[in-house]
Structures are given as C-alpha cells and as structure tokens.
C-alpha cells in the first residue's frame, strides 16, 4: 500500500479526530507499504552525514520500525503520520493521559461567546534557524482549505468562520466541472476567487508575530482538537499552491520542522535517518542523538523484526503480542487504545436496510464477542455503540445481545420468510440479500466481513462479501453505491461526531437524517454539559441503528530492553514523545513538553 492510500484512511479518521483518518491513531500502523526502492536522499540543510564504519565511536541510536512506503514528509499532504512528532510541532498536543498540553502555543484564551480563540506562541525555531511566528500558523491552517488541498482534510476546518459556505461553493464548482459546464481554467479561476473571499474574512489572523486569533462561525467546543494539526514554515514555500505540490523538495526529502529532530537521509520504502537538532537548549536535547526508522511492507515483517531484535521498538500485531506474553520474550509491551472503531455502516437509502426490522435482526444475529475474540483475543474491545471505553463521554451500554432466534422471529414478523426453503428469506418478489463491501490491506476486516456474512446466513440473509481497494471503497461510500460497508474511523479524544452522524456531515455515509441527533450534535459543538449531550447521542443512535458497531483495537508497542524513558501511547501515537526516550545507562532529557519533543 502507498502512503497516499494510508493518508486517505487517516484523513477519513482525522475528520473526526478534530476529531484524520486518520489515521492513525486509527489505522496508520496497520497498513502495508510499497516495496519500491530508490536512491538515498540527503536531507540538506547542513545535515551531518552518517559516519562511516571505523570513523570513531558512534552516537547512541534508536531504531524504530514503521509500516508503509512513506512517500513524503509534508504534514499538509500526509496528515497524522506517527513520525511527524519527530520533525514537527503543533499549537497544542495530547499527552498519554489524553489531556491537552501546550506545545507551540504557550497559552490561550477563549472569548466570552466561545467563537474566538487567542493563542500566544512560545519561543521556538525552525530547523533552519528561523523563528516560528504567527504567520506560520496562519499559513498552515489556511493552506489546508486551498482549492487544491485534499477535500476530506479541508472539512476538518469547516467550523472556521465562513469556511462551511466556502466549501459548499467549492463543491458546486466541482459538480459543474464534472458535468462539463466548467473547464479546468474556469474552475481554477472561480475556486481561487472563492478562496480569496474566504481569506478576506480573517478567520485565522496574526495581529503580531507572537499572537494568533482564530474565529469560528459559532461557538466551537472541539477547537483544541483542531490545534493539534502540525505547523509548517511559511517561508519554506513561494505560495500555498507550492506547499501542496507533492513534488516539492520539502515533501520529497528536505523538510524544515520545529521538532527535536531533522532529517539526515532517506531511502523511500527502506529507511530514514534523523539526527537531533544541535541548536536546541541542552535541557531539551533528545535522549537519542540519532533515530533510524526502518520501513516494512507488512505487519508480519514488522513482527518478525521486533521479535528478532532488529528494531528497538515497533507496533506488534495481536498474534505477536500474544506470543510475547506466552513465551515471556524479553520485550516490554506498551498498550494504548486506538481512538477509533470498526463498524458496519448501513446505506439507509437501500430498500432492504431501510427496514428497521432488518437492522435490528442483524444486531442480534452477530455474535460480536466471538467475532472480536477470534480476531484479536484481548487486544480489542467489543462495542455496542460509538462511545469508546475509557473516554469521559462514553455511555454505559449493555453488552451486545447475541440471539439468532430472536433475529429470525423479527424477520418473520416483518414479512421476511423463506417460502421456497432455499435458506434465503424473501418478502414478495424481493430476496433478503446484502452485499458487504470492505477494503484490502487489512486482513482483520476481510476476515471479519466473511464472519459477518456467515452469521447473517444463519438467520436467512443471503450475504456476500466484496473486497476492493481503499480508494474504490471511499468512492462507493461518497456516491452511495453500497449496501453495507465494513470500515474504521478515528474519533479522537473529543466526542464530536458531527461529520459522521449529522444530516449535513461530510462523512455521513449512512445517509442518517434525524432531527434529534442533529439537534444534539449542534448543541454539543456549542458547549454546555457535553457529557450528558453525547451520551444522549449514543442512546439515540442505539435506537436508530444506522450501523453495526463492532470493535475498538488495543494497540501494542514492543520495546527492546535497554530503551528507557516515559514510553507510552497517546492520541498522537507511540512516538509522540520519542525525544524523551534514552539508553538505559544514560539519563533522559528534562521532562516537559519541549523536552518530550513536541507535536502530536
């Protein structure tokens, strides 16, 4: 799988992480990568070349394992990748307790109406020595809404003042272009004019070099999630369009970041070498002067490398984690819940799935504990709804009820009977048949789709599975060309599920339109007692059953003995504070956000 495919998944999750798809960190670590090799790319910027063998003592280095053929470093093009905290910082970040803490923003205030956030920047520099300023923040946030930016990711910022109207105008222009009413030049001119009009509203502005003012159209309680996006240097690009060009050297091997490391060399699909920045204060110097990242094609290869000690730390599959526990391997296992879930989304416009009785019967026909246990063992939580266990907003829900007899009775009462005795129910001339679509590259979902189909067949539902590439699944979802789709989304720390469940949400693939859900989601964004509001959302979704909620994964990192430090997971992944890691025989850096490396 390419990093483009991986990034699409993370952007789908990231739209809720502001809840970005992503990513990770829903799904980023699970993806397989490309196998192509390319010549080594020196990072430039005065990077010190790797010493040749025999040149003297080598500095301590940390070897990390990562999945995927990572294609570039620009956060504007690869949202929420777990390597980003090594090079880039954000305004704020989440720690391992899922608490917001300062990063590039030392402090902030919220206006009385809840619409205006004023952020005050800490002193920080880019790896080329230039200071980080408010203009960089304005550039980073507004470029994500440029007409050429990824549209799914752009919707992350739809709450900014005037952005929703602007994005709706872009969608109209897109439709006109697809219908042949606009050629490319006309689309470009009108789209840029709309963008310029939005910029003039000043939703993100810099009144001085150390202050950023962000204005939303309405009170926006999830704003801090938005501020976890990585910031890039405006001076590194001649224009916003250039910043979105995947061929730009910033993306292909010469990134400039404000994080604790800088890129020294990179062989795409094989290995990257990062070195600690020499210009940081001594108390902020990373514990490992050198970090080497090895890329692996699939999880099986990464498992083997971690278990064999070829890398110091890497994500493990549930199977590998169980082997470590059973065999008492000399590895430290670190766990963190994936802030996302896997679910079977129903197309509520489909004549069969529009029937509440069919959806309720499917709820009872699937033995979710057995399915999840067979796939993950203890490394996943069974879900009855979208509330993630352990989050402050999760409602207490009864375990999913497996009752195939009740499912059969429901279908009988709704008129779905097997009149010809072939094992498949019909109602009139319509057969009770459902196609489950899912995507390749994630064997757990492929296996789960087959298991789901088996459970449904036992109650008289003819179920078949279609496996497609991820871009094809996204297209089917957006165009409504599916019945039931098995996929995962990231929901982040904040409970805002507007994108997924509101009638106007851009990720509302089910087509759910419910006035009560809409009202609650709108109220939750404005503030108030959000714990109560989002528990009511979960209760209403349980009544409507627009999807079959399945599981939340427990992510596992394997760490070799000899690597010390506050090693833990966070919403930013396992590498969120890798600069605080250090060899066992050396003291670690001073604790705190700066010492821990910044970023999310």
Give the SS3 label for residue 6.
Answer: helix
Give the per-residue pLDDT at 595: 38
For the chain, how many helices (H) and strands (E)? 19, 23
DSSP element (H, E) containing 36:
none
Q: Output the CA angle 455-461-465, nearest 5 degrees.
A: 70
Beta-strand pair 271-276/261-267: antiparallel
Low-confidence ranges of the chain (pLDDT < 50): 1-54, 591-600
Two tokens at 3? 């990093």
Question: What per-residue confidence (pLDDT) applies to 203?
Answer: 98
> Between the CA of residue 328 and those of 183, 269, 373, 532, what are the distances in Å?
64, 32, 22, 44
For the chain, the helix, strand and coil percentages under 3-state DSSP, each to the nearest 5: 35, 20, 45
- Residue 521 and residue 541 in contact, taking contact as beta carbons nearer than 8 Å: no
DSSP per-residue letters across 200-220: HT-SEEEEETTEEEEEBSS--
Three-point CA angle 302, 305, 309, nearest 5°: 145
Give the pLDDT score at 46. 34
Q: How many CA atoms lie within 13 A of 541 on its CB side?
A: 29
What is the reported pLDDT for 142? 98
**Beta-bridge mates of residue 488:** 342
pLDDT digits (tens, 9 = 90+) for 498-553: 999 999 998 999 999 999 999 999 999 999 899 999 999 999 999 999 999 999 99
**DSSP calls for 131-151:** BP-HHHHHHHHHHTTSTTS-H
Q: Are 552 and 579 in contact (CB under 8 A)?
A: no
Please tell me the total number of residues recorded for the chain in this structure: 600
CA torsion angle 217 219 225 227 (round to 10): 60
Strands 484-490 and 433-439: parallel
Q: Determine the Cα–Cα distance for residues 296 and 304; give it in Å rounded to an integer.
A: 10
Q: What is the pLDDT of residue 103?
A: 97
Which residue bears the tokens 């959000």? 530
Given the DSSP bridges, would you call strands 204-208 and 313-316 parallel, antiparallel or unpaired?
A: unpaired
Strand order, beta sheet including 211-215: 105-110, 116-121, 211-215, 204-208
Contacts of 190 (CB under 8 A, 6+ apart): 173, 182
Q: How far apart are CA 464 and CA 438, in angstroms?
A: 11
Instruction: Provide the pLDDT for residue 64.
Output: 97
Lookup: tokens for 74: 């620009």
Query: What is the b/e burial string over 36-64, where b = at least 16 CB atoms within 10 angstroms of the residue's CB?
Result: eeeeebbbeeebeebeeeeeeeeeebbbb
Q: What is the pLDDT of residue 585?
A: 82
For 438, other C-beta atoms within 10 Å of its C-beta total 26
Residue written as tokens 């506050």?
Answer: 566
Are 340 and 550 in contact, with CB atoms under 8 Å apart? no
- C-alpha to C-alpha distance for 554 and 326, rounded to whole angstroms: 18
- The CA distance from 66 to 297, in Å, is 9
In this prediction, residue 30 carries a pLDDT of 28
Distances (CA, A) of 553 to 159, 208, 342, 372, 454: 29, 44, 8, 9, 22
C-alpha pair distances (Å), 488 with each of 2, 371, 386: 18, 16, 11
- The per-residue b/e assignment along 538-567, b for 16 or more CB within 10 angstroms, e otherwise, is beebbebbbbbbbbbbbbbbbbbeebbbeb
pLDDT in the model for residue 55: 58
């Amino acid at each position: 799988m390419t990093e483009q495919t991986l990034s699409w998944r993370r952007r789908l999750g990231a739209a809720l992480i502001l809840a970005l798809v992503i990513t990770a960190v829903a799904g980023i670590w699970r993806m397989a990568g490309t196998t192509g090799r390319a010549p080594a790319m020196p990072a430039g910027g005065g990077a010190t070349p790797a010493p040749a063998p025999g040149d003297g003592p080598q500095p301590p280095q940390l070897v990390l394992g990562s999945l995927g053929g990572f294609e570039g470093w620009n956060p504007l093009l690869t949202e929420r990748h777990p390597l980003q905290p090594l090079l880039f910082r954000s305004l704020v970040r989440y720690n391992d307790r899922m608490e917001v803490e300062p990063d590039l923003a030392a402090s902030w205030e919220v206006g009385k109406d809840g619409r205006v956030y004023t952020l005050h920047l800490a002193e920080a520099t880019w790896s080329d020595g230039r200071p980080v300023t408010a203009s960089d923040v304005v550039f980073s946030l507004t470029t994500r809404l440029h007409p050429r930016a990824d549209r799914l990711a752009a919707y992350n910022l739809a709450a900014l003042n005037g952005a929703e109207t602007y994005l709706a105008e872009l969608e109209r222009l897109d439709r006109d272009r697809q219908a042949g009413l606009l050629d490319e030049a006309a689309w470009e001119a009108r789209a840029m004019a709309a963008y310029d009009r939005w910029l003039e509203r000043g939703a993100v502005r810099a009144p001085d070099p150390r202050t950023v003012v962000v204005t939303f159209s309405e009170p926006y309680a999830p704003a801090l999630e938005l501020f976890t996006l990585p910031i890039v240097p405006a001076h590194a690009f001649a224009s916003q369009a250039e910043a979105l060009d995947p061929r730009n050297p910033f993306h292909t091997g010469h990134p400039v970041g404000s994080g604790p490391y800088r890129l020294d060399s990179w062989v795409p699909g094989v290995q990257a070498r990062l070195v600690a920045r020499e210009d940081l204060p001594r108390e902020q110097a990373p514990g490992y002067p050198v970090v080497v990242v090895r890329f692996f094609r699939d999880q099986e290869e990464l498992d083997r490398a971690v278990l064999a000690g070829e890398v110091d730390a890497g994500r493990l599959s549930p199977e590998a984690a169980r082997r470590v526990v059973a065999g008492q391997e000399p590895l430290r296992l670190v766990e963190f819940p994936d802030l996302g879930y896997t679910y079977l989304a129903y197309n509520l416009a489909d004549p069969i799935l529009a029937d509440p009785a069919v959806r309720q019967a499917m709820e009872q026909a699937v033995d979710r504990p057995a399915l999840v246990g067979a796939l993950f063992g203890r490394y996943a939580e069974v879900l009855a709804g979208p509330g993630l266990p352990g989050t402050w907003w999760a409602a207490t829900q009864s375990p999913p009820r497996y009752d195939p007899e009740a499912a059969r009775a429901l279908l009988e009462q709704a008129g779905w009977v097997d009149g010809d005795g072939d094992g498949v129910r019909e109602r009139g001339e319509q057969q009770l048949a459902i196609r489950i679509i899912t995507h390749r590259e994630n064997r757990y979902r492929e296996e789960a789709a087959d298991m789901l189909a088996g459970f449904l067949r036992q109650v008289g539902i003819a179920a078949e599975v279609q496996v497609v590439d991820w871009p094809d699944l996204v297209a089917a979802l957006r165009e409504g060309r599916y019945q039931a789709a098995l996929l995962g989304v990231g929901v982040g720390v904040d409970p805002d599920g507007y994108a997924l469940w509101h009638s106007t949400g851009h990720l509302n693939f089910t087509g759910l339109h419910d006035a009560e859900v809409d009202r609650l989601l709108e109220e939750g964004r404005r503030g108030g007692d959000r714990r109560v509001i989002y528990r009511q959302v979960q209760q209403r979704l349980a009544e409507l059953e627009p999807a079959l909620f399945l599981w939340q994964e427990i992510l596992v990192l394997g760490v070799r003995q000899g690597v010390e430090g506050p090693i833990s997971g966070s919403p930013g992944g396992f590498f969120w504070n890798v600069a605080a890691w250090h060899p066992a025989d050396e003291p670690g850096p001073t604790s705190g956000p700066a010492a821990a490396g910044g970023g999310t």
